[in-house]
Amino acid sequence: MSAPAVVAESVTRRFADVVALDDVSFDVRAGELFGFVGPDGGGKTTLFRILVTLLLADSGRASVLGLDVARDLWAIRRKVGYMPGRFSLYPDLSVEENLQFFASVFGTTVEAGMPTIAPIYDQLAPFATRRAGALSGGMKQKLALSCALVHHPEILFLDEPTTGVDAVSRREFWDLLADLRGRGLTIVVSTPYMDEAGRCDRVALIQRGRLLGVDEPAAVARSFSGAVLEVRSRERYRALLALRAFEHTDTVHLFGEWLHYTDRRAGNGIAADVVAHLRTNGIVADVTPIAPTIEDTFIQRMGAPEAA
């Protein structure tokens, strides 16, 4: 394999007395689709801003494409594509004009960038003369992605690209990312949505400025310790309250239509025990063991330092 595309060593950054990033180390392989998953305020944006040379770390080192983010910022800026978390195009310019603007900022043209952006731009082409401000959320994201790609970057940084976008557009967007990755582009993406983590080659769980682990999505799910029980009940909310009050409960949270539950104890017969506890509270429920998801793992790891 070639050299890693991104290397971070003990990156730390504080804002006043808040530690936004605490001793963060990881590396992203070339050609990888690498995801940062974590709640808002976890440090994802701060990390991205350091990697794209907008912010300096207080301590630690980071490099992108073998270039130091503090020293070689001008070289990095020519080679990265960056899509900030907020929609950041000119609403009063048309789709074409926005694209042309970013192409010219990078000293290139839309025509030269077309091979890279064609699969995305084809979907935007019918709206070429429409003002960016009048596009739908999903279309805006696609335009922003086109603008970030128009200069043939070697690596793409996308900070929460799908936040506030509908489910169908989100899926389409991830399909586009998979396509770009298939063509050899390294992509670093962050998301608060657990279901999107499964589409990355590797994910890093990040919370309160700390990396809780980096692994393949399946491995993250497998790393779950213990068993997850799915609790199905018509009275979902009452069941949640009842289980929160249960002395053996480790975690319990809403998961889609049902609840996911983990117990402090190990061993058999726990499912029956939970059913019994719910019945004493007058709730009828069906409890079955299931394979843990990334989200279960994440909630378990997130909860761990607090309980300690």
Partner 1 sequence: MRRLLYLSWVEVLHVVRDRASLAQLLLVPFIQLVILANAATFAIHDTPAAIVDLDATAASRALSQRFAASPHFRIIGGPRSVAGADEALRSGEATMVLAIPRGFERALVRGEGARVQVQLNAEKGSAAGIVQSYAQRIIARFGAERGEREGTAPALRRIDVQTRGWYNTELDYRQYMVPGILVALVTLVGTLFTAQNIAREKELGTLEQLNVTPISRAEFIAAKLLPFWVLGMAELTLGLGLGAAVFGMPVRGSLLLLLGVAAVYLVAALGIGLLISTAVDTQQQAMFVTFFIMMIYLLMSGLYTPVDSMPGWVRMAAEANPVKHFVEVTRAVLIKGAGAAEIAKPVGMLGAFAAGFFGLAVWRYRKTA
The span of 30-38, 49-57, 110-118, 185-193 binding partner 1 (CB under 8 A) equals: 49-57
Phi, psi dihedrals of residue 295, rounded to the nearest 5°: -65, -40
Q: Which is nearer to partner 1, 146 or 297 (CB)?
A: 146
Q: Which is nearer to partner 1, 107 or 269 (CB)?
A: 107
Q: Which is nearer to partner 1, 100 or 123 (CB)?
A: 100
Instruction: Report the alpha-carbon distance of residue 308 to residue 94 in Å, rounded.
Output: 54
Residue 62 interacts with partner 1 (CB under 8 A)? Answer: no
* Nearest distance in Å: CB 55, partner 1: 5
Strand intervals (E) in the chain: 6-15, 18-28, 33-37, 59-64, 67-68, 80-83, 155-159, 186-191, 202-207, 210-215, 228-233, 249-255, 258-263, 285-290
Which position has the token pair 């402090």? 264
Sketch the per residue contact string, 77 through 116, with partner 1: x for CB under 8 A, - otherwise.
xx-x-xxx-xxxxxxxx---x--xxx-xxxx---------
Residue 25 interacts with partner 1 (CB under 8 A)? Answer: no
* Nearest distance in Å: CB 201, partner 1: 24
Position 227, amino acid: A
Inter-axis angle of helices 137-149 and 167-182, nearest 10: 20
Residue 56 interacts with partner 1 (CB under 8 A)? Answer: yes
Collect all residues with Cβ–Cβ distance below 8 Å to 137 and sequence separation of at least 6.
164, 165, 166, 169
Burial of 121 (0-12, 13-18, 19+ CB in 10 A): buried
* Nearest distance in Å: CB 159, partner 1: 10
Total site size for partner 1, rule CB under 8 A:
32
Which position has the token pair 């289980």? 243
Q: Binding to partner 1 (CB under 8 A): which residues in 144-203?
A: 147-148
Footprint on this chain of partner 1 (rule: CB under 8 A): 49, 52-56, 73-74, 77-78, 80, 82-84, 86-93, 97, 100-102, 104-107, 147-148
